[in-house]
Amino acid sequence: MSSAREFHLRTPLRDEDVDKLRIGDVVYLTGTVVTARDEAHELALEVLRGGGSLPVDLRGLALYHCGPVAVKDVSGSWKIIAAGPTTSMRMEPVEPEFIERTGVKMIIGKGGMGRGTAEAMKKHKAVYAVFTGGAGALAAEAIKRVPAVYWLDKLGMAEAMWVFEVEEFGPLTVAIDSTGANLYEQRLAEVAEKAKEVKRELGLPAEE
């Protein structure tokens, strides 16, 4: 990866938008992003498994692993003041089913996701992209409107399902693409290899 390709995409995302993305590409997204953390995943799947539908149709949209800090402004509408990504791996056990049942085309989070998600992304044409962890104020800048929030009373501010209208939301780095390639899996294997060398230099015994 000598230099990153950059894309500016708009929701709803189509298969062809997702198909051209490869791991290491950088994306700026405009359109609708919907948040879900652990509890919103569980609740959404409970509804969908029961044959119900979600308060917002997620087909073609981006799902954001995020628990924002939100305040109500004087007019009574929500303003997001910090909204960086949360650790995606917590959602790994249920994400493949979530992708299949909802038709989301992009999942945004941090820290990477596992084999199950990569397989589901290959099968249903979706990508996983990483927003800079901790950059909550930068993310909030790109959130222009909050059209709705669901399950706020039941789940609380951080776990509720927020709907954001975003403009040029990013940088998002593609970490799993629709071929199932996983950037972190590759990178972390390189780091583990490097660690052996570093340990030798520290005079530590070789492993195994």
Taking the least distance from each CB to another protein, the nearer of 123 and 137 is 137
Which range of residues in 47-55, 96-104, 116-124, 126-134 is near another protein by CB under 8 A? 126-134
Residue 190 within binding range of another protein, rule CB under 8 A? yes
CA nearest to 109, candidates 64, 78, 159, 141: 64
Task: Decide: helix, strand or coil at residue 128.
Answer: strand
Size of the site for another protein (CB under 8 A): 53
According to DSSP, the β-strands at 26-35 and 6-10 are parallel
Residue 73 within binding range of another protein, rule CB under 8 A? no
Cβ atoms within 10 A of the Cβ of 189, count? 10
Task: Give the nearest distance from C-beta 195 to another protein in angstroms.
Answer: 5
Task: Give the nearest distance from C-beta 129 to another protein in angstroms.
Answer: 12
Taking the least distance from each CB to another protein, the nearer of 88 and 102 is 88
By the 8 A CB rule, do 27 and 134 touch? Answer: no
The alpha-carbon radius of gyration of the chain (Å, integer) is 18
Residue type, 97: E
Active site residue 124: no
Residue 68 within binding range of another protein, rule CB under 8 A? yes
By the 8 A CB rule, do 67 and 37 touch? Answer: yes
By the 8 A CB rule, do 11 and 30 touch? Answer: yes
Residue 109 within binding range of another protein, rule CB under 8 A? no
Q: What is the number of residues in the chain?
A: 208
Residue 87 within binding range of another protein, rule CB under 8 A? yes
- Give me the residues that bind another protein (CB under 8 A), please: 1-4, 24, 26, 66-69, 71, 81-84, 86-87, 89, 110-112, 130, 132-141, 156-158, 171, 173, 183-184, 187-188, 190-192, 194-195, 197-199, 201-202, 204-205
Active site residues: 41
